[in-house]
Amino acid sequence: MSFFFMYLDPMNRSATHVVTEFVLLGFPGSWKIQIFLFVLFLVVYVLTLLGNGAIICAVRCDSRLHTPMYFLLGNFAFLEIWYVSSTVPNILANVLSKTKAISFSGCFLQFYFFFSLGTTECLFLAVMAYDRYLAICRPLHYPAIMTRRRCGILVSSCWLIGFLGYPVPIFSISQLPFCGSNIIDHFLCDMDPLMALSCAPAPITESVFYAQSSFVLFCTVAYILRSYVLLLRAVFQVPSAAGRLKAFSTCGSHLAVVSLFYGTVMVMYVSPTYGIPTLMQKILTLVYSVMTPLFNPLIYSLRNKDMKLALRNVLLGMRIVKNI
């Protein structure tokens, strides 16, 4: 870690030491509370993996779900598995740990994957809004536009943009000198706590990071809102009540996920957080990083007849194989 010293005044080197690990306080409490939290997060994690895994299996195994909408949904479920895995395994280890320490490299790797996967999720939600807009507003052109190749390009672009956008700013933050306290009052490595521990100001790096994050958030939100305004206009022009109900049902699940995810993310990263208690910040982060991946399978399966039928067939097939 000797490369940190090139940012320090030579006269002050003796007064500082290089941070080699951070301490994530997580959710402090008695040992009984820690055990309860471990069991709770473990159950949530397992249910999230099973729920999203079931959606992937249903989309893959049921030929009726081999359409652009379900192709995107299957990839979104795959993304949710990775997103929740960027935080919960470390939370589980942290809860049972006495030192609650995370290595310097481990902290920044989590920081990178957490933000890259979060950005990828924003882009995925925008692409899914685009798919619903085409399906309802341009149904005759939909098969020609949303081809298998187009879907593959959109999905690949989401992953590439999400993961290529943060290496440089996060690497720049990792090069800052961290001296003095290494305690982070959070359950993950996030931007604000890390910048608070740096003993050298980096306004340019911080501004670039927040500008990039805000750009992704506002652009995807603006596109999603625009898509739904056009979509609602088209729905209200449908003459039959049954047709309008079907259109609302098709988009309701996606809109519920968008509201849950963006509602909490905006509070954390767009509105000022200095007035929000630390515990509330942790709860808000839990909602969009842990609870949203858990709720997504329920939202999509309970509101979708085709998905419920496909999941029932998958579970029935698993029982038959088990009996054989």
Please give the pLDDT value at position 63. Answer: 84
pTM metric for this prediction:
0.85
Strands across the sheet containing 101-103: 101-103, 21-24, 183-184
Tens digits of residue pLDDT in 86-105: 999 999 999 988 889 999 99
Could you give the C-alpha distances from 56 to 50, 66, 81, 135, 254, in angstroms and in order? 10, 11, 10, 22, 17
Please give the pLDDT value at position 206. Answer: 82
One-letter-per-residue 3-state SS of the chain: CHHHHHHCCHHHHHHCCCCCEEEECCCCCCHHHHHHHHHHHHHHHHHHHHHHHHHHHHHHHCHHHCCHHHHHHHHHHHHHHHHHHCCHHHHHHHHHCCCCEEEHHHHHHHHHHHHHHHHHHHHHHHHHHHHHHHHHHCCCCHHHHCCHHHHHHHHHHHHHHHHHCCHHHHHHHHCCCECCCCEECCCCCCHHHHHHHECCCCHHHHHHHHHHHHHHHHHHHHHHHHHHHHHHHHHHCCCCHHHHHHHHHHHHHHHHHHHHHHHHHHHHHCCCCCCCCHHHHHHHHHHHHHHHHHHHHHHHHHCCHHHHHHHHHHHHHHHHHHHC
Tens digits of residue pLDDT in 100-115: 999 999 999 999 999 9
Could you give the percent of the chain with pLDDT greater than 90? 40
Average pLDDT score over residue span 113-121: 95
Amino acid of residue 73: L
First to last CA, the chain: 57
Tens digits of residue pLDDT in 185-216: 999 998 888 888 888 777 788 888 888 888 99
Please give the pLDDT value at position 211. Answer: 86
The rounded distance, in Å, linking the Cα atoms of 252 and 131 is: 14
Could you give the percent of the chain with pLDDT greater than 70? 85
Please give the pLDDT value at position 300. Answer: 74
Q: Which of 46-50, 226-230, 239-243 has the highest mean pLDDT?
A: 46-50
Tokens representing 35 are: 């055990």
Average pLDDT score over residue span 214-221: 91
Please give the pLDDT value at position 210. Answer: 83
The rounded distance, in Å, linking the Cα atoms of 13 and 322 is: 65
Is 84's pLDDT higher than 90?
Answer: yes
Is 249's pLDDT higher than 70?
Answer: no
Please give the pLDDT value at position 3. Answer: 38
Please give the pLDDT value at position 271. Answer: 60
pLDDT band, residue 258 (cuts 50/70/90): confident
Query: pLDDT averaged over the chain?
Result: 84
